[in-house]
């Protein structure tokens, strides 16, 4: 006969299986988040390209006057989160004209 003390208690193999299942789920969730962040650089560059277009659009309205750059700053200072991209260091009137011409060429 079983004693009443053991009634409702989980056997050790079930507890071990539950712990292993929780660990497997945690590893899968971690792996999912690591893989989902691999696309972050692409989306960040896309956002920076959008900032470049906005910057160039504002600057072109003044005829690329060096004294009237948006925010009275160079692009690398205006969008400091984009300086990791090599193209961000060379945003100048010529680069802006190319960016804006490319942008209008894709719209047409």
Q: Tell me: the pLDDT tens digits for 2-54?
A: 555 666 677 888 889 999 999 999 999 888 877 766 555 556 888 888 999 99
Identify whether residues 83 and 31 lie together within a single domain.
Answer: no
CA distance 103 to 60: 14
Q: Which domain does 28 fall in, by range? A: 10-38
Identify whether residues 63 and 95 lie together within a single domain.
Answer: yes
Any residues with CB less than 8 A from the CB of 101 and at least 6 apart, and which? none
Under the banding of pLDDT at 50, 70 and 90, the label for residue 108 is very low
Nearest CA to 87 among 55, 57, 45, 59? 45
pTM: 0.56
CA distance 23 to 16: 11
- Whether 17 is covered by a domain: the verdict is yes
User: Greater confidence, 96 or 105?
Assistant: 96
Identify whether residues 34 and 54 lie together within a single domain.
Answer: no
Tally the domains of the chain: 2
CA distance 66 to 24: 58
Identify whether residues 70 and 33 lie together within a single domain.
Answer: no
| Phi, psi at 8, each rounded to 5° | 85, -5
Identify whether residues 50 and 25 lie together within a single domain.
Answer: no
């Amino acid at each position: 006969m079983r004693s009443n003390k053991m009634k409702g208690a989980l056997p050790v193999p079930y507890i071990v299986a539950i712990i292993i299942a929780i660990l497997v789920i945690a590893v899968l969730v971690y792996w999912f988040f690591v893989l989902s962040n691999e696309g972050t650089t692409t989306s960040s560059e896309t956002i920076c390209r959008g900032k470049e277009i906005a910057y160039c659009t504002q600057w072109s309205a003044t005829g690329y006057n060096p004294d009237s750059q948006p925010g009275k700053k160079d692009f690398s200072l205006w969008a400091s989160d984009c300086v990791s991209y090599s193209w961000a260091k060379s945003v100048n009137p010529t680069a802006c004209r190319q960016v804006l011409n490319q942008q209008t060429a894709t719209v047409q």
